[in-house]
Amino acid sequence: MTFRAHVLGSGSRGNSILLETPETRIIVDAGFSGRQLERRLAAIEVPPESISALFITHEHRDHTQGMGVFARRWNLPIYIARATAGSCSALLGGDEDIRFYRAGRPVDLGDLRVEPVLTCHDAIDPLAVTVRQRQSGLKVGIATDLGTPTVSVRHALQRCDLLILEANHDDVMLRTGPYPWSLKRRIAGRHGHLSNRAAAQLGTELHHAGLAGIVLAHLSQECNEPGLAVEVVGEALETKGYAAPLRVAPQDEPLAGLDVTEMAAAIRSPQLGLWDSASR
């Protein structure tokens, strides 16, 4: 019944997340080359032939780069929004098994349920997804590339056991950093990326007693630092009494073995203990 997440890598040079149960393995986004995806899977000892499907959130290259190559090589279906597929046809050879999915229509695959929700980002049909292990009900929310966390995104991400959440930039580092003004405006805009401060705000809003772990993702290498992101988000979460793990997903190597089943049990056990002693 184990449910695990592995961030194969996250940042502006590539994003990919593997979710696995004993029955089903899926990859959300294929933002590395086919070879790089294989290398990262090998590093966590997951054979590519054991993957059931790819799910793509939007057409930006840091989410799609290897999708065609990887899907063709390993004969995998690609779940993708229709408009997204149209806008990155150069990456597709035409003979892939393309399955259209869209916001509000969950997809069941093995014992996983993938629920896409529309986000606010400068792509043609950008999606965030939650992935639920149907039997246990455990839920992982994956939300990066968010300009603004809309009501529907905030609603979809409620009551997650594990949240993989964008903390793209520090406001000051972005303002004073090396990017041209137009790019700074794009990143900080309504259709850009979440800052540490915005991630902290969203994290505290989504906090609930069962939230068993948070992974900060899609960190900018020029305009953020892992320690700073953890400090800003961690401080805000502390005010809510959050004491579960808070990690950062690196760009260059996998953050592997996030055992959602174990994390959820750990967060629930103190309450079970209380309940046990009260009932004695």
Spatial separation of the C-alpha atoms in residues 226 and 231, rounded to whole Å:
9
Phi, psi torsion values for 274, nearest 5 degrees: -60, -45
Query: Which tokens hold the place of 89?
Result: 């046809």
User: Candidates 141-149, 154-162, 164-172, 248-256 — which segment interacts with Zn ion by CB under 5 A?
Assistant: 141-149
User: Candidates 103-111, 145-153, 240-248, 271-279 — which segment interacts with Zn ion by CB under 5 A?
Assistant: 145-153
> 140 pairs with which residues across the strands?
131, 162
Q: Contact between 125 and Zn ion (CB under 5 A)? A: no
Residue 130 or 220 having the CB closest to Zn ion: 220
Spatial separation of the C-alpha atoms in residues 96 and 73, rounded to whole Å:
10
User: Candidates 3-11, 48-56, 59-67, 80-88 — which segment interacts with Zn ion by CB under 5 A?
Assistant: 59-67
User: Among 43, 41, 39, 38, which Cα is nearest to 19's?
Assistant: 41
Q: Contact between 40 and Zn ion (CB under 5 A)? A: no
Residue with tokens 């194969």: 8
Residue 142 or 260 having the CB closest to Zn ion: 142
Q: Contact between 6 and Zn ion (CB under 5 A)? A: no
Q: What's the 3-state SS for 7-53?
A: EEECCCCCCEEEEECCCCEEEECCCCCHHHHHHHHHHCCCCHHHCCE
Q: Contact between 62 and Zn ion (CB under 5 A)? A: yes
Smallest distance from Zn ion to CB 123, Å: 6
Query: Which tokens hold the place of 117?
Result: 């929700």
Alpha carbon distances (Å) from 58 to 45, 69, 89, 231, 263: 27, 17, 13, 29, 29
User: Candidates 58-66, 103-111, 165-173, 254-262 — which segment interacts with Zn ion by CB under 5 A?
Assistant: 58-66
Residue 99 or 186 having the CB closest to Zn ion: 186
Smallest distance from Zn ion to CB 57, Å: 8
Q: Contact between 166 and Zn ion (CB under 5 A)? A: no
Smallest distance from Zn ion to CB 70, Å: 17
Residue 125 or 145 having the CB closest to Zn ion: 145
Residue 145 or 161 having the CB closest to Zn ion: 145
Among 40, 60, 184, 207, binds Zn ion (CB under 5 A): 60
Among 59, 125, 145, 170, binds Zn ion (CB under 5 A): 145
Spatial separation of the C-alpha atoms in residues 246 and 148, rounded to whole Å:
22
User: Among 72, 57, 82, 69, which Cα is nearest to 166's?
Assistant: 57
Residue 161 or 166 having the CB closest to Zn ion: 166
Q: Interface with Zn ion by CB under 5 A: which residues?
A: 60, 62, 145
